[in-house]
A and B are shown apart, each in its own frame.
Chain A
Amino acid sequence: GAVVSQHPSWVICKSGTSVKIECRSLDFQATTMFWYRQFPKQSLMLMATSNEGSKATYEQGVEKDKFLINHASLTLSTLTVTSAHPEDSSFYICSARAHSGSSYNEQFFGPGTRLTVL
């Protein structure tokens, strides 16, 4: 089956530093990836849609200069949290949409990255 990985699985950083999270589709190509954020005991909230070779589309209220997204290839999207603050501590989840094959249009999710900002 289609597999999506995220790296790192967890990260602790100091306030003011930047953190990069990678999302990779391991055995399929994805022209579109989505980045979600999940606070404790709350639902996943879409942050942005990442399209290979073009600028990401951010949801209302998400600061594009703070959450930098780069989708440089058909198998990799990165989310960089710039100048992180404690309120950015959360669980970040990506999904990759298969653009061909029997799972066409299905989203496959990564296991998530736990970010803690001290």
Chain B
Amino acid sequence: AQSVTQLGSHVSVSEGALVLLRCNYSSSVPPYLFWYVQYPNQGLQLLLKYTSAATLVKGINGFEAEFKKSETSFHLTKPSAHMSDAAEYFCAVSDFDGNKLVFGAGTILRVKS
């Protein structure tokens, strides 16, 4: 079985500050890990994914995430927050690329000016 825990349902940062959204996973098989972003009234959009290649994954909009097997973590970071980053972010795990996803509860990111 697979599961995802996202620490913090709401995160607030100032514009220009570091963004850190936490995700821990549980998986009985080598995981495929994903971060999605959802803007109001839009579908989820893939930010980045880990598929057992490089442990540091770079995605769109300046986001990146690092796969740490020893910590079972896949935290999402961005060096400098922008107002347009305000959205809800979901971490997800799968047993292979393209298969069904198990999602975390989501984290709403607020960016203060």
What residues make up the interface of A, taking CB atoms closer than 8 Å to B? 4, 32, 34, 36, 41-46, 49, 93, 95, 97, 104-112
Number of A-B residue pairs having CB atoms within 8 Å of each other in the complex: 46
Among B9, B97, B103, which residue has its beta carbon within 8 angstroms of that of A105? B97
Contact yes or no, B98 A106, CB < 8 A = yes
- Proximity bits, B55-69, A CB within 8 Å = 1, else 0: 000000000000000
Contact yes or no, B104 A43, CB < 8 A = yes
Contact yes or no, B43 A111, CB < 8 A = yes
Please give me the residue from chain B that is nearest to A44 by CB atom: B103
Q: Is B70 an interface residue (CB 8 A)?
A: no
Residues in chain A near residue B9, CB distance under 8 A: 41
Contact yes or no, A112 B43, CB < 8 A = yes
A111 touching B41 in the complex, CB below 8 Å, given contacts A34-B100, A49-B100, A105-B97: yes
15 intermolecular pairs with C-beta atoms under 8 Å apart: A34-B100, A41-B9, A43-B4, A43-B90, A43-B104, A43-B106, A44-B90, A46-B101, A46-B102, A49-B100, A105-B98, A106-B46, A107-B98, A109-B45, A112-B43
Alpha-carbon distance between A106 and B103 when the two chains are bound, in angstroms: 15
Contact yes or no, A109 B44, CB < 8 A = yes
Q: In residues 9-51 of chain B, which contact A (Cβ within 8 Å)?
A: 9, 36, 41-46
Q: How many residues of B contact A (CB 8 A)?
A: 19
**New A-B contacts (7) at CB < 8 Å, excluding given A43-B106, A45-B103, A46-B101:** A4-B43, A41-B9, A43-B90, A93-B44, A105-B97, A105-B98, A111-B41
Alpha-carbon distance between A44 and B101 when the two chains are bound, in angstroms: 9
Alpha-carbon distance between A46 and B18 when the two chains are bound, in angstroms: 32
Please give me the residue from chain A that is nearest to B9 by CB atom: A41
Q: Is B105 an interface residue (CB 8 A)?
A: yes
Among A4, A41, A107, which residue has its beta carbon within 8 angstroms of that of B101? A107
Residues in chain A near residue B46, CB distance under 8 A: 106-107
Contact yes or no, B98 A97, CB < 8 A = yes
Residues in chain B near residue A112, CB distance under 8 A: 43
